[in-house]
A = this chain, B = another copy of it.
Amino acid sequence: MTVADGYYAVIFTSTSSGDDPAYDAMAKSMDKLAQQQPGFLHMETAKSELGITVSYWQSLQAIEAWKQASEHVVAQKLGQEKWYSSYTVRICKVERQYSFEAGA
Interface residues of A (CB under 8 A from B): 9, 11, 13, 17, 44-52, 54, 60, 80, 84-102
Give A82 Cβ to nearest chain B Cβ, in Å: 10
* Copies of this protein, total: 2
Contact partner of A86 (CB less than 8 A), chosen from B44, B54, B93, B101, is: B101
CA distance in complex: A87, B95 (Å): 17
Check if B94 sits within 8 Å of A92, measured CB to CB.
Answer: yes
A32 to B7, CA, bound (A): 31
* Selected contact of A11 from candidates B47, B50, B54, B80, CB within 8 Å: B54
A72 CB to nearest B CB, Å: 15
Q: Do B47 and A46 touch across chains, with their CB atoms under 8 A apart?
A: yes
